[in-house]
Amino acid sequence: MDPGAGEDVGPIETAGTGRPADKPVTLLLWRHGETDWNLERRFQGQSDVGLNATGKRQADRAARLIAALQPSAIYSSDLARAVSTAESLARLTGLPVILDKDLRERNGGAWEGLTDTEIRQFYPEEHQVWSPPDGEPTAVITDRAADAFERIADSVPAGTLAVVVGHGAAIGFGMSRLLGLSATERVIGSLANCSWSVLSRRAGRWRLLEHNVGRLPEPVPDVAFAVASGRAAEGAGEVPAGDGG
């Protein structure tokens, strides 16, 4: 699958070789569904918190959308909230879930289990630079996540899409590294629970195709369309739906 098909993505041959350019490998980076700690704004890190009822519903709904993309593989962090999310897709596709501990969330050290308010109160200096005491430095989680994404991309056939289920910070930091962006400036916004981003790698270059996909508001009603449809039905001798008693 190439979500970028039809776009101006550059020459069709690898420069200087005369050979066709590589087919892209596409990664769909999917954040896990909601947990109670997400609701309470607690730093989860590598604490093994499971999905709540809302998170399970989110995962089931998102899995139906992602399954339509016909993924070739499913990789997941080995933390329970990610595994449960991945299993929703595995049930629909029949694909196994391949666990990878390098997809785990950032180790939050002393912050794990604390709310954002408590972190601000007890660790004001560390909060300013977002560096958890006794936790995983930004450079380490960035390298770990980016290396995992590259390794997964190397393991799947060209022209296919692999789903990678993980965590907000790990996905964000790793994605920034692949795109050549600063991890500390967080140019790319955060992922909502059970939303995803799509990256493709072609000839060694990464491109962001979609970001924070998965949840859209309900469309506003098109009153003009409804009125026009009603008039057309009346003109054809039909009774508009809902008006027949």
Query: Rounded distance, CA 4 to CA 204, Å?
Result: 16
Residue 164 dihedral angles phi and psi, to the nearest 5°: -120, 115
* Catalytic residue of the set 32, 112, 136, 167: 32
Angle in degrees, 0-180, between the axes of helices 53-67 and 80-93, rounded to the nearest 10: 40
Query: Rounded distance, CA 225 to CA 206, Å?
Result: 42
Are 132 and 111 within 8 A, CB to CB?
yes
Are 191 and 171 within 8 A, CB to CB?
yes
The beta-carbon contacts of 54-57 under 8 Å, at least 24 apart in sequence, are: 55/81, 55/84, 55/85, 55/193, 55/194, 56/84, 56/88, 57/33
Active site residue 167: no
* Catalytic residue of the set 34, 105, 112, 136: 105
Q: Which two three-digit tokens encode residue 183?
A: 């991890």
Sign of the C-alpha dihedral, residues 174, 175, 179, 182?
Answer: negative
Query: Rounded distance, CA 167 to CA 238, Å?
Result: 53
Are 108 and 134 within 8 A, CB to CB?
no
Smallest CA-to-CA distance from 186 within 201, 167, 171 is with 171
Active site residue 211: no
- Residues with catalytic annotation? 32, 105
